[in-house]
Amino acid sequence: MNIDTLLNALFGSQHQVQRNGDFLAGDASLDGQTLRVIGTTEHAPIGVELALAQAREVLDVVRNHPGQTILLLIDTQGQRLRHRDELLAINRYMAHLGCCIELARRQGHAVIGLIYDQALSGGFITSGLMADACYALPEAEIRVMRLPAMARITKIDEARLTELSQSNPVFAPGVDNYVAMGAVRSLWTGDLQAQLRQALLDARSDNASHDRRAADGAARGGRKLSAQVSAQVRHAGTAA
């Protein structure tokens, strides 16, 4: 779905979201509530400038609009693969973006992510995965690392990883697998404005200090041990 169709489905004419290259930002209104929309489009590669632009918008909300909900619209091919960005430490800029989103959450801003096209690699990790809850359209494409790259990093034979991906969502790309792992709370179909309205209600009722992803992954069979191991780590830290 292209960005204009998406914005119309979510807000009709009740938005002032502007596009500057691959960068999206602006206010939108739903049922009298004003949201700040921040995001990317056209499979944007996240370079230094785009990471800083998104971080600046998040900090503007924190500084000037206490309590305002942030909606992250995600369409990215991940970090920009250019020598210049690597020399400028793109990992630090993307980490900065993630830290700004976490700051917003700690300051009481509900942060909702919506993957409407692509969500790849670090561009997804520092946006949708940092939100209180991340949702996706059924046709979205999600992956963090391709199996050949995973094989190089883990030193596990690619054929073995391919075999594992057939039964374990952790090793496989695809929106359904990310739902199974709990990384995506649910898929939005039908009336997208109604889906957003429900997500806003859920954001207000969620305990901000409680991350549901591991519990959802365990309940859905996509990450069977994450919640258990996390609880054991927290308990060990408390006991110490």
Question: In this predicted structure, what is the pLDDT of residue 97?
Answer: 96
Question: In this predicted structure, what is the pLDDT of residue 194?
Answer: 97
Q: Which stretches of the chain score pLDDT less than 50?
A: 208
Tell me the whole-structure pTM to 2 decimals.
0.89
| Main-chain phi, psi angles of 186, to 5 degrees | -165, 165
Question: In this predicted structure, what is the pLDDT of residue 14?
Answer: 96
Tens of pLDDT, residue by residue over 34-69, are 999 999 999 999 999 999 999 999 999 999 999 999
Contacts 24+ apart (CB under 8 A), 221-228: 221/180, 222/169, 222/170, 222/177, 222/179, 222/180, 222/181, 222/182, 223/169, 223/170, 223/181, 223/182, 226/182
Question: In this predicted structure, what is the pLDDT of residue 229?
Answer: 87
Amino acid code (one letter) for 193: Q
**Is the separation of the CB atoms in 181 and 223 below 8 Å?**
yes
Question: In this predicted structure, what is the pLDDT of residue 210?
Answer: 66
**Is the separation of the CB atoms in 203 and 110 below 8 Å?**
yes
Measured from the Cβ of residue 81, the count of other Cβ atoms closer than 10 Å reads: 12
